[in-house]
Amino acid sequence: MRHEKAASGFMTVVRKDLRLAWRRRADAVAALFFFIIVASLFPLGGGTEPELLQRMAPGVIWVAALLASMLSLTRLFSDDYDDGSLEQMLLSATPLPVLVFAKAAAQWLINGLPLIVVSPLLAIQYHLNASAIVTLMVALLLGTPVLSLIGSIGSALTVGVRGAAILLALLILPLYVPVLIFGSGAVQATIDGQAIGGHVSLLGAMLALSLVLAPWAAATALRIAYD
């Protein structure tokens, strides 16, 4: 019975956030276009040599994805804080970490998943071969949920704080660095013809760790912020 309530609360929050995102779909589209524009500018400014572009591709695409994922994080809990929904979440029978996880999952579906879908088109601009494109998509599939989960902690810590966007960036950017290193490293290893098992395994480990710890950390931060 308890698990059924948790699942019901999870799906309720996800559906609510998806409906709100559809009403404000311009925000999601803006984040996607930001990703596309940032990643597309480097081939225009860095030259057309295939080898150079291939070297640039992993870092550029991952940095663009990281920045795009941050655009909506400031509003992850702030809207709920402003309209009183956050107080209802704190008082809900559904455990708060489950609701926090639902918010992060919805944020990933809205902002992270579209980045993965369009990433092959951007990779073609950098002359990446098919295996490198597949690796890029796998790395983004493992890494972008970590960005959303870690971002939920920063968003919870800064909810209701003036100048939250700057503070949020300062808090979570250092935590994003390992994801950036191993995500781009996996793609670079594929380009160089090396094994990617280590990079992918570490991304998977970070995802598993984030799934376990991030919702609890963000829930604790929300309780502290609301008190």
Q: What is the pLDDT of residues 57-83, one digit of tens each?
A: 899 999 999 999 888 787 888 777 777
Higher pLDDT, 49 or 172: 172
Give pLDDT tens digits for 96-116: 888 999 999 999 999 999 999
Predicted local distance difference test score (pLDDT) of residue 139: 95
Report the predicted TM-score, pTM, of the whole model to 2 decimal places. 0.90
Cβ neighbours for 130, distance < 8 A, ≥ 6 positions apart: none
| CA 37/CA 71 separation, integer angstroms | 14
Read off the pLDDT band of 119 (50, 70, 90): very high
Nearest to 125 by CA among 39, 191, 64: 39
Mean pLDDT on 128-150: 94
Q: What pLDDT sits at residue 167?
A: 83
Give me the DSSP letters along 62-126: HHHHHHHHHTTGGGTTHHHHHHTHHHHHHHSSS-HHHHHHHHHHHHIIIIIHHHHHHHHHHHHHT
> Residue 91: pLDDT band by 50, 70, 90 thresholds?
confident
Distance between CA 101 and CA 212 in Å, rounded? 10
pLDDT reading at 1 higher than 60: no
pLDDT digit string, tens, across residues 169-187? 888 889 999 999 999 999 9
pLDDT over 90 for what percent of the chain?
41
Q: Give the pLDDT score at 204.
A: 95
Q: Are 57 and 183 in contact (CB under 8 A)?
A: no
Tell me what the mean pLDDT of segment 114-122 comes to.
Answer: 92
171 close to 218: Cβ distance less than 8 angstroms: no
Percent of the chain past pLDDT 70, that is, above it, reads 95
